[in-house]
Amino acid sequence: MDDETHAALEALKGEDETFDDLLSRLVEDRRETVRDGAGLWAGTDAAERAREKRKEMKRGVGDR
């Protein structure tokens, strides 16, 4: 791990928390964030619109 990464993790780590504890907490926080967002587009056409926008963007990249 480089010094910059170590310093960033150290800043996030609680006083009595090990790096393993920190990483476990960060993973769980991420899982909760994903779970909280699951289903937000249910009942809308947002997912299809996002797919279409992605296709448009990919086509635009090939044109350059």
Q: Is the dihedral of CA 17, 18, 23, 28 positive or negative?
A: negative
What pLDDT shows up at residue 18? 96
21 CB-near residues (< 8 Å, 6+ apart): 13, 14
Integer Cα distance of 62 and 1 in angstroms: 37
Task: Give the closest residue to 18 by CA, choosing from 28, 8, 27, 9.
Answer: 9
**What's the domain count of the chain?**
1
What pLDDT shows up at residue 35? 85
Structural domain boundaries, residue 37? 3-62
Over residues 54-62, the mean pLDDT reads 83
Structure tokens at 41: 């587009």
In the chain, helix, strand, coil percent, each to 5? 70, 0, 30
Please write the tens of the pLDDT for every residue from 26-35: 999 999 888 8
Over residues 14-38, the mean pLDDT reads 92
Q: pTM for the full model?
A: 0.57
What pLDDT shows up at residue 64? 54
